Amino acid sequence: MCVVCGCAGDGSQVTMEGHGHAHPPSPYSPAARRAKSGAPAIRRAEPAHAGASHVAVDPTSGDLHFGAGAAKVSVPGMSQARAIRLETDILGENDRVAAQNRAQFAAYAVTALNFVSSPGSGKTTLLCATIEALKARAPGLPVAVIEGDQQTSFDADRIRATGAPALQVNTGKGCHLDAPMVAEAFARLHRHDHGEERSLLFIENVGNLVCPAMWDLGEAAKVAILSVTEGEDKPLKYPDMFAASSLMLVNKIDLLPYLNFDIERCIAFARRVNPDIQVIRVSATTGEGMGDWLAWIESRLKADAVASLRAGIVRSIAS
């Protein structure tokens, strides 16, 4: 079992395209587990009788240690079993790395958007169209893309064809990107010059309307894409994703005349699970609604720029 990608088999790997990054061997393999245990100098003695298993014998001196058990003290007749209270978030480790990513993005003046949707909603086509449109509307705005898929680099190839740098992250059997994957991809992707110039990072998550909702990647916002060919009730069927997203892009609206898709109903459903969600209707194919979408991106860029300016002023006053 792999914590990073959730892969189940031994052969599953998270790979970073073009960099030969192999996912480390499972930390739960017997060898890794032995290495991890830190080889304490004190070995546990074979119990002489029941209840004495917490006695430890120093292998060199033969000294006996009665406080080496879980309870740190030996009381005759008392079991070494005890309760440990943790109250720890299961996603805490991911969230810690996500917070680091967020700080990195702030340091490099990067506004990161995490695109989530089911497979086939038109994420990559929309991203390509967005990059092309930004070239005309905001020339000089650097845009980079991290592409998440289980396999292949098809999507990164499509992005690169627009001229934007892209890095494919293959999750193997994993169903979502997590914060450490994005941290590694960003380190490989980014130029690492502390420029003043703001840039845009699109993270295209694995096509999956369930799992990516739970994993914070350090993004400024999650953008859910729902195409009109999918059915208007998806926000209710998969509420967690729409609850986690700041914006819903209703894509492929050029196909509306051919479908029974009640777009108002779809938006009402999305607002049921997230009263604050913003909605923009777009067609990557015809360009309809792209102006509103680009304006939304620009508003996020501006908000991040203002926030970083403010943080800079606070820092300079403090120092």
Partner 1 sequence: MHEASLAGGILQLVERTAERERFARVTHLRLEAGQLAGVESRALRFALEAIAPGTLLDGARIDIDEPPGEAWCMDCSLTVQIAQRGDACAHCGGYRLQPTGGTELKVIDMQVED
> Judged by CB under 8 A, does residue 37 bind partner 1?
yes
> Judged by CB under 8 A, does residue 82 bind partner 1?
yes
- Answer whether 159's CB lies under 8 Å from 168's CB: no
> Judged by CB under 8 A, does residue 36 bind partner 1?
yes
Binds partner 1 by CB under 8 A, chosen from 39, 75, 90, 318: 90
Alpha carbon distance 165, 6 (integer Å): 28
> Judged by CB under 8 A, does residue 2 bind partner 1?
yes
Q: Is 202 exposed, middle or buried (0-12, 13-18, 19+ CB in 10 A)?
A: buried
- Answer whether 203's CB lies under 8 Å from 182's CB: yes
37 phi, psi to nearest 5 deg: -70, -5
Binds partner 1 by CB under 8 A, chosen from 271, 279, 285, 292: 271
| Nearer residue to partner 1 within complex by CB, 134 or 277 | 277
| Nearer residue to partner 1 within complex by CB, 137 or 173 | 173
> Judged by CB under 8 A, does residue 175 bind partner 1?
yes
> Judged by CB under 8 A, does residue 190 bind partner 1?
no
- Answer whether 232's CB lies under 8 Å from 266's CB: yes
**Minimum distance between the CB of residue 239 and partner 1, rounded to whole angstroms?**
4
Length of the chain counted residue by residue? 319
The residue written with tokens 């587990």 in the block is: 33
- Answer whether 73's CB lies under 8 Å from 183's CB: no
| Nearer residue to partner 1 within complex by CB, 178 or 304 | 178
Binds partner 1 by CB under 8 A, chosen from 89, 231, 265, 307: 89
| Nearer residue to partner 1 within complex by CB, 113 or 244 | 244
Query: In angstroms, what CA-CA distances link 178 with 67, 98, 152, 175?
Result: 40, 8, 18, 10
Binds partner 1 by CB under 8 A, chosen from 14, 15, 16, 94: 94
Alpha carbon distance 270, 236 (integer Å): 7
Q: Name the pairing type of β-strands 166-170 and 15-16.
A: antiparallel
Restricted to residues 103-122, the positions that interact with partner 1 (CB under 8 A) are none
> Judged by CB under 8 A, does residue 70 bind partner 1?
yes
Kindly list the residues in this chain that would bind partner 1 in the complex (CB under 8 A). Answer: 1-3, 5-6, 8, 27-28, 30, 33, 36-38, 40, 53-54, 68-71, 79-94, 174-176, 178, 210-211, 213-215, 235-236, 239-240, 243, 269, 271-273, 275
